[in-house]
Amino acid sequence: MAHQSDLIAEDIYSYLKTQEEKDMLRFITCGSVDDGKSTLIGRLLWDSKLIFEDQLVALEVDSKRVGTQGDDIDYALLLDGLQAEREQGITIDVAYRFFSTDKRKFIVADTPGHEQYTRNMVTGASTADVAIILIDARKGVLTQTRRHSYLASLVGIRKVLVAINKMDLVDYSATTYEKICEEYESFAEQLDFESVTCVPISALKGDNIIAPSAHTHWYHGPSLMAYLETVKVEDAALTAPFRMPVQWVNRPDLDFRGFAGTVASGTIRPGDELTVTSSGQTSSVSRIVTMDGDLEEAVAGQAITLTLNDEIDVSRGDLLTDPLARPAHADQFVAHLVWMHEETLLPGRSYLLKAGATTVPAQITELKYKVNVNTLEHQAGKTLKLNEIGVCNISLGKALSFDPYKENRATGNFILIDRITNATVGAGMIDFALRRATNIHWQALDVDKRSRSLIKNQKASVLWFTGLSGAGKSTIANLVEKRLLALGKHTYLLDGDNVRHGLNKDLGFTDADRVENIRRVAETAKLFVEAGLIVLVSFISPFRSERGMAREILDEGEFFEVYVSTSLEVCENRDVKGLYKKARAGQLQNFTGIDSDYEVPENPEITVDAGVFSAEALADEIVQAILGDGYVDEFQEGTER
């Protein structure tokens, strides 16, 4: 190390105990490009003397080779570790660094200033207690300053230090400093900050970083380090009601059954009452088990195993809570959503929502508005693009236990996952449950799907025909229905064009509208299956995700995908409706196969090619494949021609 405490050599155990007893502050630096975030943190690391000797040597070499300060040390290089960052002189990824002083331990996150890396900034801010907002004294409050301040407020940061940097380049002007402070504080009144502290600094020269600077004799507030060492940050997780998501049910033998997880908030002791929010069952704590022995008390942040005094049903993903302060338990809620993927958000599409140890299917049922993070204005919109933020209604496949994010960050956050790629596409903060959803329940009916199917002597199911426009879907589906009808089967054909004359006449052909189109059709097909019918669905249905959703909302064996794999060349040569011609001429936008993608089915039950075989022959083949013994679900192996 460049500098070591004398206590290390004298009494290493005392040194380690001292370090352990220090409290930890997590903070984030953010602001616009070139405001000096990386330089500031590099300076803090340098001046705290917690840098290894080899890092010092490497820093001196790199400063001369790729630095921006001539022969002087470029402190930003301690943070900008990526090749692209050093070449461009910018921060791209989130860089985390640990350092400590005699009073406190710190973890700092250096986040990107560029707008296209907003998602990275949100990631870094999600665990921070304090935000340092840097402002270039020459430029003042910029759009990105407002953006990052809003995001810091959104993820729950309540204390902000505004570091007005590069004061050396404005001759340490008190007037400039005061003007920027007034402008920022006026903007911050719209946000949920508890306190805003302004400090004039020069990260490069070290003014007001560790000690007060003689260049700013007119400033009488704390230095940046003094603020970080003394700012009081209440750990809301310690005072919040008890919450522990169950990550694992531990059954090593017949005599032990424990529920393992990390305490998200509150405290727990043997004898305390607990409730499983999903079922409402209550018990009391028998033991708090850890690798180091039983505890008399566990607090937020500790990984523990709880044993209970009663045999109640608890599974992975359940939330154990204080029975006197229960969280919400609902299948719909309103949330702020940060979109983090290049592919846009499509309301109606089925995603996976992961909250704690629970993963459930979810849909954005309504995008209420988008937030212009530069002006804080609410804007109308139907979808979200990369780095955009919106407020939306979310519907879940099953009820979830949660708290509003402002009350409990640990149990009020979630991520959205793409069902096909498993990529994280969004991060959300729950605002409140849609209480009206709790008034809606499934009504028990005496006549069910099985009864309706038996009276028709058939297996209710869906035959889902998919393929390009002009592939022959409707023609083949029509012939299949005629053959089924001749065999005495009760059917209904949902055709793409026909449905758009009524049920879906309000929808266009954007990706978002296509998703909603298929969602409505899938739900309609499900109702017809409940009626005991064999439903033939003939839609382009270009996206695998929506076809997968249609399959999943039905029972096992009720969905039979028929891929009409006629080539684009054949479809375009047919062009019965003249649509391809218009699309090629630019007169028809978002046309599948031309300027909108078609995602080929990966595992269809049947694949046929209407460009090679006649529609009549293919209809016969499909009927033979699906009607063995009268049960569709007995034919798992699809045929292909």
- Please answer whether residues 309 and 283 qualify as being in contact, where contact means their C-beta atoms are separated by less than 8 angstroms: yes
518: nearest Cα among 325, 346, 267, 328: 346
Query: Cα dist. 550→58, 339, 547 in Å?
Result: 57, 25, 5
**Is 621 strand, coil or helix?**
helix
CA atoms of 339 and 394, how far apart (whole Å) = 14
Query: Could you tell me the end-to-end alpha-carbon distance of the chain, in angstroms, rounded to an integer?
Result: 70
**Is 51 strand, coil or helix?**
coil
In the block, tokens 């070290």 appear at: 206
Tokens coding 638: 């699809």
- The CA radius of gyration of the chain, in Å to the nearest whole number, is 31
Q: What is the DSSP letter of 54?
A: H
Active-site option among 63, 278, 541, 565: 541
Specify which residues 320 forms β-bridges with.
244, 276
CA atoms of 47 and 198, how far apart (whole Å) = 21
Q: By CB neighbour count within 10 A (0-12 exposed, 13-18 middle, 19+ buried), where does 142 fall?
A: middle
- Please answer whether residues 622 and 480 qualify as being in contact, where contact means their C-beta atoms are separated by less than 8 angstroms: yes
Tokens coding 329: 């338990």
519: nearest Cα among 371, 435, 395, 377: 395
Q: By CB neighbour count within 10 A (0-12 exposed, 13-18 middle, 19+ buried), where does 64 fall?
A: middle
Query: Would you call 567 a catalytic residue per the annotation?
Result: no
* Residues forming the active site: 541
